[in-house]
């Protein structure tokens, strides 16, 4: 049963619903390997070159574009991802959370900086689609989620009330962009990639969860607070 006090929930994909280990593998290991093979250079040279590219383009739309990377580094990065698609995996509690939210009538949107091709590839391998009313790639919006414009354009296409919205995203600059726009509830992830050590919750600027089902009591709290404010 849906309830009007229920916040709308925006989920990031990579590092939030899906294990970022896949993307780490592709970008930090497999792409340098294939780049070195393709261009007949050393692995060290490929790592150094790609590292420079990553630094230049971080948080821009180009960073998230497989077309851009394919042109820039001369490796078909979409094909590279397809070659390792078996490694695409959900994070702990992903489906349990999504099923529960669906049963409880929450409206959920998937908002990703992955480009349309990347989103499609992930959805073909992990069946997230049945749980989302809206699924958007920032490529369609023209700005990445780090920018307030992303949220403005999103809202003009699909109306929502930022005062009753909750975003779960593993990337701090994205949460800050959303905060600037006025998204009320912001939550991050302690361990986006199972291949890396968890971050310390106390060092993160936003409320942090790891097992995704931990979101459920937080949502209850949010709604109880809203009721308190309204009846106070």
Q: Distance between terminal CA atoms of the chain?
A: 26
Least Å distance, CB 114 to Mg ion, is 9
Burial class (CB in 10 A: 0-12, 13-18, 19+), 163: exposed
Provide the residue count of the chain.
232
Q: Which residues touch 62 (CB under 8 Å, ≥6 apart)?
A: 68
Q: Shortest CA distance to 219 belongs to which of 209, 204, 230, 229?
A: 209
Least Å distance, CB 169 to Mg ion, is 6
Q: Is residue 170 part of the contact set for Mg ion (CB under 5 A)?
A: yes
Q: Is residue 15 part of the contact set for Mg ion (CB under 5 A)?
A: yes
Between residues 18 and 101, which has the closer beta carbon with respect to Mg ion? 18
Task: Check residue 12 and report its DSSP letter.
Answer: -
Interface with Mg ion by CB under 5 A: which range of 23-31, 71-79, 167-175, 207-215? 167-175
Least Å distance, CB 13 to Mg ion, is 7
How many Å apart are CA 144 and CA 159, to the nearest integer? 18
Interface with Mg ion by CB under 5 A: which range of 42-50, 82-90, 162-170, 216-224? 162-170
Between residues 39 and 87, which has the closer beta carbon with respect to Mg ion? 87
Task: List contacts with Mg ion (CB under 5 A).
Answer: 12, 14-15, 170
């Amino acid at each position: 049963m849906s309830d009007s006090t229920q916040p709308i929930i925006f989920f990031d994909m990579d590092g939030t619903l899906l294990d970022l280990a896949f993307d780490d593998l592709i970008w930090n290991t497999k792409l340098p390997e294939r780049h070195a093979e393709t261009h007949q250079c050393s692995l060290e040279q490929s790592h150094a070159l790609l590292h420079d590219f990553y630094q230049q383009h971080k948080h821009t739309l180009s960073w998230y574009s497989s077309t851009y990377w394919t042109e820039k580094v001369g490796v078909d990065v979409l094909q590279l991802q397809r070659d390792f698609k078996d490694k695409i995996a959900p994070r702990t509690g992903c489906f349990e959370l999504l099923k529960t939210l669906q049963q409880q009538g929450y409206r959920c949107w998937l908002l990703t900086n992955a480009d349309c091709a990347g989103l499609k590839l992930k959805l073909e391998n992990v069946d997230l689609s049945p749980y989302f009313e809206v699924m958007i790639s920032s490529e369609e919006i023209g700005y990445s989620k780090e920018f307030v414009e992303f949220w403005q354009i999103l809202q003009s296409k699909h109306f929502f009330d930022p005062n009753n919205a909750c975003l779960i995203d593993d990337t701090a600059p994205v949460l800050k962009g959303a905060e600037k726009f006025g998204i009320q509830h912001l939550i991050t992830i302690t361990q986006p990639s199972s291949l890396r050590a968890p971050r310390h919750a106390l060092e993160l600027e936003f409320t942090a969860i790891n097992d995704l089902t931990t979101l459920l009591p937080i949502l209850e709290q949010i709604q109880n607070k809203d009721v308190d404010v309204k009846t106070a």
